């Protein structure tokens, strides 16, 4: 498959991982560091070593698995390891993992000695179609997602769909929410194509490629999120709030995509009320997400807490809560401010749904 071209780098689809050798050969790197989490260190790193037996001279950094560890403490751990192992400005950090590894690793690299090179090898569906493209880095703080971060471009992104075999069904389904989202905000035909699948495991490499392509078109046109890029936030205002609440309050918290799926249903209701989304499209969107994600119980009484998180969302200005809302399946508006009462209605709409 032809690499997808961003302004500053390419996204390679390459199950052989040979591209990694080529990218590393382009510069005379003084040191190679690989960042993994406990899971990718066990499941993905051996694959990488097997396919690239020449890559034997690297230092390994491991962080624990899970969104709750995408924080400044583990970021300091990465910085300190780079320092202890004498990473200079010509070192490169390879981030091998899901969004926690790619987001936090790229933030650490972009701020170490004011920026060293990094390369993304996303291993989850979510990070392949979302975190890997667009040059956003970040860590969470005080339950606010990606509140600290930079814009920084990788040397390259290498996607091997072979790594998806290491995922649980639940993780696979989580990532699939962003695939569906790309259809809703930008490509009706693509939405129809993925919405009819029976489950997320059926997603094809061509569909993943097309999903990355959609995101890449958006972020290439608007890298710093002044306009069009905001459409990618569809589902994320309410979704992030639900995700944050769940992370802090539930033993077995929602995964990112699961929360975003809920957010996309609630926000489709707002879109129907404010952005001209038809009742039919609202119904199609709602039923599609219910099919893949089932119904989650948004506990009664947490609405105020959710609104508080929404107010701290990076997209807001002057305390007003801003949304990106589709006006039809395949097209999305942005910078729509929504009153708190209507947001609460959106949550109630979700609660009232049944298949």
Report in angstroms how near the CB of residue 265 gets to a second copy at its nearest: 27
Near a second copy in 16-45, by CB under 8 A: 30
CA distances from 338 to 238, 271, 335 (A): 12, 10, 9
Residues binding a second copy: number (CB under 8 A): 36
143: left (phi over 0), alpha (psi -120 to 50) or beta: left
Binder among 26, 46, 49, 76 for a second copy (CB under 8 A): 76
Near a second copy in 276-335, by CB under 8 A: 311-312, 314-319
Report in angstroms how near the CB of residue 290 gets to a second copy at its nearest: 33
Task: Closer to a second copy by CB, 80 or 165: give it.
Answer: 80
Report in angstroms how near the CB of residue 118 gets to a second copy at its nearest: 14
Report in angstroms how near the CB of residue 111 gets to a second copy at its nearest: 5
Query: How far apart, in whole angstroms, are the C-alpha atoms of residue 323 and residue 61?
Result: 37
Residue 72 contacts a second copy per CB under 8 A: yes
Query: What binding mask, one character per residue, do residues 239-278 give for a second copy by CB under 8 A, x or -?
Result: ----------------------------------------
**Other beta carbons less than 10 A from residue 83's beta carbon:** 11
Report in angstroms how near the CB of residue 215 gets to a second copy at its nearest: 17
Near a second copy in 165-184, by CB under 8 A: none
DSSP letter for 131, please. Answer: I
Near a second copy in 106-165, by CB under 8 A: 110-115, 136-138, 141-142, 144, 146-151
CA distances from 326 to 176, 219, 264 (A): 19, 18, 10
Burial class of 353 by CB neighbour count within 10 A (0 to 12, 13 to 18, 19+): middle
Task: Closer to a second copy by CB, 25 or 318: give it.
Answer: 318
Query: How far apart, in whole angstroms, are the C-alpha atoms of residue 49 and residue 98?
Result: 18
H/E element holding 159? strand 156-159
List, as one string, the DSSP characters of 41-76: HHHTHHHHHHH-TT----EEEEE-SSGGG-SHHHHH
Residue 89 contacts a second copy per CB under 8 A: yes
The set of residues, in sequence order, having a beta carbon less than 8 Å from that of 73 and lying 6+ positions away, is none
Task: Closer to a second copy by CB, 80 or 170: give it.
Answer: 80
Task: Closer to a second copy by CB, 28 or 354: give it.
Answer: 28
Query: What binding mask, one character per residue, do residues 96-115 give for a second copy by CB under 8 A, x or -?
Result: --------------xxxxxx
Q: Which residues pair with 151 in a beta bridge?
A: 136
H/E element holding 11? strand 10-13
Contact positions toward a second copy, by CB under 8 A? Answer: 30, 72, 76, 79-80, 83, 86, 88-90, 110-115, 136-138, 141-142, 144, 146-151, 311-312, 314-319
């Amino acid at each position: 498959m032809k690499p997808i071209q961003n302004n500053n780098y390419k996204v390679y689809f390459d199950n052989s991982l040979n591209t990694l050798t080529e990218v590393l050969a382009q510069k005379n790197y003084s040191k190679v560091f690989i960042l993994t989490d406990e899971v990718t260190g066990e499941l993905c790193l051996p694959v990488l070593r097997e396919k690239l037996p020449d890559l034997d001279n690297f230092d390994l950094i491991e962080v624990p698995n899970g969104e709750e560890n995408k924080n400044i403490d583990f970021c300091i751990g990465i910085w300190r390891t780079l320092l202890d192992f004498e990473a200079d400005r010509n070192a490169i950090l390879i981030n091998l993992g899901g969004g926690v590894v790619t987001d936090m690793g790229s933030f650490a690299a972009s701020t170490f000695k004011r920026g060293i090179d990094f390369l993304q090898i996303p291993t989850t569906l979510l990070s392949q179609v979302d975190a890997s493209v667009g040059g956003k880095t970040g860590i969470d703080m005080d339950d606010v997602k990606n509140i600290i971060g930079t814009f920084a471009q990788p040397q390259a992104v290498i996607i091997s769909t072979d790594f998806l075999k290491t995922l649980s069904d639940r993780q696979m389904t989580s990532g699939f929410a962003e695939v569906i989202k790309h259809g809703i905000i930008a490509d009706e035909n693509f939405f129809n194509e993925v919405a009819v699948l029976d489950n997320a495991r059926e997603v094809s490499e061509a569909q993943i490629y097309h999903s990355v392509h959609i995101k890449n078109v958006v972020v290439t046109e608007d890298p710093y999120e002044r306009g069009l890029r905001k459409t990618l936030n569809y589902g994320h205002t309410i979704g992030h709030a639900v995700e944050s609440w769940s992370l802090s309050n539930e033993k077995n918290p929602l995964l990112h995509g699961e929360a975003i799926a809920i957010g996309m249903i609630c926000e489709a209701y707002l879109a129907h009320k404010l952005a001209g989304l038809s009742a039919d499209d609202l119904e199609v969107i709602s039923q599609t997400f219910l099919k893949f994600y089932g119904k989650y119980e948004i506990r009664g009484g947490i609405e105020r807490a959710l609104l508080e998180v929404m107010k701290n969302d990076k997209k807001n200005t002057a305390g007003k809560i801003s949304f990106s809302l589709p006006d039809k399946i395949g097209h999305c508006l942005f910078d729509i401010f929504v009153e708190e009462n209507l947001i609460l209605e959106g949550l109630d709409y979700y609660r009232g749904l049944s298949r």
